[in-house]
Structure formats: C-alpha cells, structure tokens
Amino acid sequence: MKETFTCGGCGQKLKATPGVRVQCPACGQERKPASGTAEEIFHCGGCGQKLKATPGVRARCPACGWERKLAGGSRTRASSMPPPPPGPPTPPRTSSSSESGRVSLQCPECNLRPVETAAKLQVIRGFLLFARLGSYTVIGCGPCVASTARAESLRNFLLGWWTFPWGFLAPFYAIQNLLNSSSRPNREKLASALISAGVNIEDITLDASGMTGMERRFLEALARILGQVVLTKGKGSPEWRAAEETIAGFSEGKLGRAEASTWLDRFAKAEFDPSGRPFEERVGDHRDRVMLLRLVIEVAMADGAIDPSEKQAISLLATRLRLSPQEFNRVFNAAEQEHSAGRRQNDQERAQALRILGLGEDASHADIRNAYRQSMVKHHPDLAPPDEQEEATRRAAQINHAYDVLIGSQ
C-alpha cells in the first residue's frame, strides 16, 4: 500500500510503497522509504500550527518559518496533545522601531555601519628644522572613529618630536587625540562635522517611514514635476507607468507602485513654483535639478518618442528649474541618444565615471545619486588630513565630473 512521503532533496510530496526505492521526478534524489516513516501530523514549535512532515526529513513551517529535522517519535503527535498556545504576534519590522533617527550615510571606513560620531584630530609631523601642524575631522561609526584617533595619536608620538622647539607639542597632541577616541555615538559632534562638508544632519536622518528629509523633498518635487508631465496622458498610459516606476525606484522600496501613483495624483494637482527660495529648500542643489530634468525626459520617452509639443513643455520646465538652454540641450541630447541608440554616447567615458563612483554598468539613477553623495562625504577636502587635502581635492573633482557625465550635464 502506497503512503505519502516528503522528498529529502526538494520537499516535494511523493507517493511510494514502503521498502521500494523511489526517485523524485523533480530533483532526481532516490530514497528507499522504510515502513512507518510516512507523513505524520506535528505541531510547529514556533506558532503551534499543525503541519505534516516525514520523520527524519527537515520540515519548515510556511506560517512562521520555524524549521527543524523531525526525528521519529521526538515530537508529540497532534492527536495526543493539544497545540502549545501561540506567542504574542511579532510586529512587522519597520523603520519606526529599528532605524528611525539613524543617519542614512554608511561609515566611509568600514562601509558596514552608519556614521554615528565625529572627532577633530590634531596632527604634528617633525622635519628637524621645521614642523607641520594641522588638524582634520574624521567621521564614521564609533569603532572606526576611535581606531583612527588612536592611530593618529601613535603617529604623533612617533613622528612629531623630530623637530625643535615644536617637538614638545607631540605628546599633548597625542593625548588630545586619545581623549577623542571614544566609540560612543555623538550626534552633536557629527552634525558639526557634516556642516563643514555642506550636509545638514537633519537632511540625512531617517524618519519613521524610513526616508530622510532630503529623500522626501526630492521625491515630492519629482512627483510634482512628473505629475504635471503625465497628467494629460492619463492613468494607464506608458508615461504614467514609467513615472510610477521612477518614483518607486528612487524611493528604494519605501514606496510601492500604488503609493507612487497616489503621490503623482496628489502632488501633480498642487501648485508648484520652483522659482525662488522655497524651491531651493524643496529640491536641493543644481545637480538635483539636472537629475530631475533627466528623469522627466526619460519618462516622456516611455511611449517611444517625444513630439515637439512635449519637448517645448519640457524646455519650459527646464527654465522653471533655472537651467540654461545649453544645459537643457545637453541633457536632452544625451537622453535621446541613449534611448534611440540603446547605448551611451561615450561608453568609455561612462564606464570610467561608473568606476570612479564604484558602480556597475546596470546602476540606476538612484544608485548613481546615492553613490555620489556617499563618495563626496568620504573624499571631501575639508574632512581630509592636512597631508592628504591635495589628493582629496583632486578626488572630489573627479567625483563631481563623473556624476555630471552620468546624469548628462557634461
């Protein structure tokens, strides 16, 4: 008599006669089921739900994910004992409970933890007849900042006393750096250091929805501008669907297609005047406005081409964004050629720009924008040690040029 068993390779249900070798048609694994090893009913150890499993085969609860290899007779059968009471429901993992208030930038040293603190470090280097004195600010996670401060203290001890009379400052500088080697998060120091790099800490702090202030302002401006472009096309049009995908993509999973459509509906009908100070506060810097223009052009091309009326409307939008006609033509031509030819105008230059930002060929506009901001904080000249500021300035210029190439403004 055939009984139902579970394949040990893929988990598929099989019917076989005990003692007769059977091969799973899905994964090819062969097994000779022993008599008495057919499926039995067990209670999940996580949520108490009833499940069927073959003793000796690893089973996974589809409800809570609890997983275990059940040995014959090691679990109480459902018929002999009532299920254990279910525990309290696990709340969904949201940013409000785990990430709210955290800075969205990753530590530039380890790239594993978010930045948490900053420290101003003193530097002294002795060169017999003269000395080089200076200071720089390091930002990052607590352990990385503490490690950098201790390393700088050691360098001051070893290299700072090789001069007269400035050598006597070496131990004082080293001790001051050691006092700054705490690994505890310090938001006040971090905020002060980020301001020197042109970043407001409130703009990069995650709120309860998992967005930073900068992301929310950019997405609202994007929804307003795209909404005005696609509103006349109507919902369900290729342009509307492309606008939904663009907004959802830039939100990095924080907004779904349905929510993106709601944002388009809501913000497209709101009054939007990107001239003057309110727009500066809403959208951001010049490169953000260029990025907005590039996205509008790509959405307008979703139906295959841009007619003269659409181009004129986008040109007027570029004027409202306070972009020059030359900038509009550069961005428009770059987007049009990429769309029509299916490739970039200068593949070699684009590939080099992607390497500078540490991105792959399939990087999205959102990836490019995030990598640019992360790289600028890491290589900002105002945050570099005195003997590395020249290299940091050169590196920052490369990063700015690479970003301009990738968004089409160069």
**Domains of the chain by range and CATH?**
3-69 (no CATH), 100-204 (no CATH), 207-315 (no CATH), 344-410 (1.10.287.110)
Q: What is the DSSP string of 152-190?
A: HHHHHHHHSSSBTTGGGHHHHHHHHHHHT---S--HHHH
Report pLDDT digits (tens) over 243-263.
888 888 888 778 888 888 888
Give the pTM.
Answer: 0.61
Give 85's contacts (C-beta < 8 A, 6+ positions apart): 48
Sign of the Cα torsion 79, 82, 83, 89 reads positive
Report pLDDT digits (tens) over 259-296.
888 888 887 666 545 444 444 445 667 888 888 888 88
Report pLDDT digits (tens) over 196-224.
777 888 888 888 878 888 888 888 888 88
Q: Is the Cβ–Cβ distance between 6 and 53 less than 8 Å?
A: yes
Report pLDDT digits (tens) over 21-52.
777 776 666 666 555 445 566 666 555 666 66
Host H or E run for residue 191: helix 187-196
Report pLDDT digits (tens) over 142-198.
999 999 999 998 888 888 877 777 778 888 888 888 888 888 889 888 998 888 777
Q: Is the Cβ–Cβ distance between 294 and 330 less than 8 Å?
A: no
- Quickly state the pLDDT bin for 235 (edges 50, 70, 90): confident
Report pLDDT digits (tens) over 377-390.
888 888 888 778 88
- Across the range 315-344, mean pLDDT stands at 79
Report the pLDDT value the prediction gives residue 146, as an integer from 0 to 100: 92
Separation of alpha carbons 162 and 228, rounded Å: 66
- Quickly state the pLDDT bin for 313 (edges 50, 70, 90): confident
Comparing CA positions, the residue from 99, 23, 106, 137 lying closest to residue 373 is 106
Separation of alpha carbons 49 and 234, rounded Å: 47
Report the pLDDT value the prediction gives residue 145, as an integer from 0 to 100: 92
CB atoms within 10 A of CB 2: 13
CB atoms within 10 A of CB 126: 20
